[in-house]
Structure 1
Amino acid sequence: MDALKKGWFSELTDLLPGRCFSMQVEQVLHQEKSKYQDILVLKTKSHGNVLVLDGMVQCTEFDEFAYQEMISFLPLCSHPKPQRVLIVGGGDGGVAREVAKHPLVEAIDQVEIDDRVVEVSKKYLPFMAKGFDSPKLNLHIADGFKFMEEHVEYYDVIITDSSDPIGPAVSLFQKSYFELMKRALRPGGIVCSQADTFWGHLENATSMRKHCRDVFAKVGYATSYVPTYPHGQIGYALGSLNENTDFESPVFQLTQQQRKEMQLRYYTTEVHKAAFALPAFVVDAIEADECKD
Structure 2
Amino acid sequence: MSFIKTTDGTEIFYKDWGPKDATPIVFHHGWPLSADDWDNQMMFFLEKGFRVIAHDRRGHGRSSQTWTGNDMDTYAADVAELTDALDLKDAIHIGHSTGGGEAVHYVARAKPGRVAKAVIIGAVPPVMVQSDKNPGGLPITAFDELRAAQNANRSQFFHDLAAGPFYGYNRPGAKISEATIHNWWRQGMMGGAKAHYDCIKAFSETDFTDDLKAIDVPVLVMHGTDDQIVPYADSGPLSAKLLKNGTLKSYDGFPHGMCTTHPEVINPDILAFIQG
Query: Do both proteins adopt the same fold according to a TM-score greater than 0.5, normalized to the shorter chain?
Result: no
Bigger share in helix: 2
Bigger share in strand: 1
Q: Normalising by structure 1, what TM-score? A: 0.28
Task: State which structure, 1 or 2, has the greater radius of gyration over its C-alpha atoms.
Answer: 1
Q: Normalising by structure 2, what TM-score? A: 0.29
